[in-house]
A and B are shown apart, each in its own frame.
Chain A
């Protein structure tokens, strides 16, 4: 648990006049559950886009297993062991649920049959077995969220970037998702959870938490320290909307 799996160093990126990230640095260790919290627009999704290679930052570096991955194509980052989900779910609508998952499984499987077999197991694991052969466009929002996770798992990642996977879930579903993330950690898979609200769960599952506000990290530490950080309380926890 000592050597860092992911090192983010001074990442900055602007969209037109909006400085979405202004020098963000953090480290995630193997098997760790790291929560990235912050209000809507803080820059969580943008950071995930940078780490997964979808966006190229204006400045800064991202290292995975000691190697810089800035400028690498997204598929190479995925193959190296970083998987992500999308906050706004993006299923391959006209593919079956199994095929949605099989796409990611292809990086390990030599044949498409093998990939589909692996995919079926994962589909079962996330509880979508009854819908395995349906078109992904037939799924409900909650099911689509699970499909996002299933597709990411098919890559057998070392690091999973979960973008707002709690959003839109019922409280009991949220607890299920929290247990699921804890289970991943026990199997050695690190997770970075981008989460806007639901502080109760963040405090329960996270080994460490970073608080992002308007593109800057205003605090970083274990759940206890974060809860008592005056800057955090002021900027974030203090607002009544985050009680959930």
Chain B
């Protein structure tokens, strides 16, 4: 069983790596978006799944990454991957003071607080004259979709590896403990503030790194695209559908959602959104904790 899974993983990764050689533009585009969503879902899953701080604003870090990359590429003429890396580091570093303040909020207050914070960041970023003050920022052409795809794929695989590590580490155990009961975790020796902020900044690093690739993908960034609430919401739904706080939830949820969405869109273009919404509700009603935990508990019950 273990070796079979391992072989499947190697085959899947190889297929993803060689995909750009065989796929046409439309399919590669679709694959890129899928990988991007899954990677975003993995980023969200650390702070919101493992640590239990449900965030509606991780897109702020995606936007920061996108704009930082845009500025570094357009004004400073950096090579885009270096710029995107810098964007991720900036997002991660900003998350430390932001987390210190925001993580004092709990539950719905944190969720809404993060939503508000993302709006604030958006306003601040677009107030800088160099970013085009909301009108947008053109990037000089310099990368192909293939390059952006590989960048995004690498981050996605990195995010999965990071999640695998967290799930088995002392850090992950501390996060899960504080998710269950923060006060008790504290009196059992867990430095909850430090654990939360670390989780939060990792959950900012991933979208921060992805944002730069997205900026190159669009070649033109504007606030609505860089701080896209659609990207944010859809990746959150994927993680929830797959199973919050599990290693494979974001991947499973991401694959199921994009496949179903594409199939419905191709067959029922007029009523696609309605069908999709209905199906999502039905799935979540049937599997309230997500697909992966449902399979896992059935497995254990055998």
Contact = CB atoms under 8 A, between A and B. Distances in A.
Contact of A104 (B168, B188, B192): B188
Contacts of A78: 186-189
Contacts of B180: 92-95
B126 interface: no
A90 B188 CA distance: 12
A151 interface: yes
Nearest to B193: A73
B189 A106 contact: yes
B187 A53 contact: yes
Contact of B174 (A54, A73, A103, A109): A103
B191 A102 contact: no
Give the interface size bracket for A toward B.
Answer: 20 to 34
A92 B183 CA distance: 11
A155 interface: yes
Given A104-B188, A155-B188, 16 more contacts: A73-B193, A74-B183, A74-B187, A75-B186, A75-B189, A75-B192, A78-B186, A79-B189, A84-B187, A92-B176, A95-B176, A103-B189, A106-B190, A109-B170, A111-B170, A115-B170
Contact of A92 (B170, B172, B177, B186): B177
A73 B186 contact: yes
Contacts of B189: 75, 78-79, 103-104, 106-107, 155
Interface in B136-184: 168-170, 172-174, 176-177, 180-181, 183-184
12 contacts: A53-B187, A54-B186, A73-B191, A73-B193, A74-B183, A78-B186, A92-B177, A93-B180, A103-B174, A103-B185, A104-B189, A155-B189
Interface string A72-116: 011101110001101000101111000100111011010110010
Contact of B191 (A52, A75, A103, A111): A75
Of A75, A79, A155, most buried by chain B (CB within 10 Å of CB) is A75
A104 B168 CA distance: 16
Give the interface size bracket for B toward A.
Answer: 20 to 34
B184 to A, nearest CB: 5
A112 B170 contact: yes
A200 B173 CA distance: 40
A99 B170 contact: no
Of A54, A103, A107, most buried by chain B (CB within 10 Å of CB) is A103
Nearest to A109: B170
Nearest to B186: A74
Contacts of A99: 173, 176
A102 B188 CA distance: 10
B186 A106 contact: no
Identify the 9 closest CB pairs spanning chains A and B, nearest first: A92-B180, A74-B186, A107-B189, A78-B189, A104-B188, A112-B170, A103-B177, A74-B187, A75-B191
Contacts of A84: 187
B174 A106 contact: yes
B177 A95 contact: yes
Contacts of B190: 75, 103, 106
Contacts of A86: 184
A112 B173 contact: yes
Given A74-B183, A92-B181, A95-B177, A112 B169 contact: yes
A99 B83 CA distance: 41
Contacts of A115: 170, 173
B173 A103 contact: yes
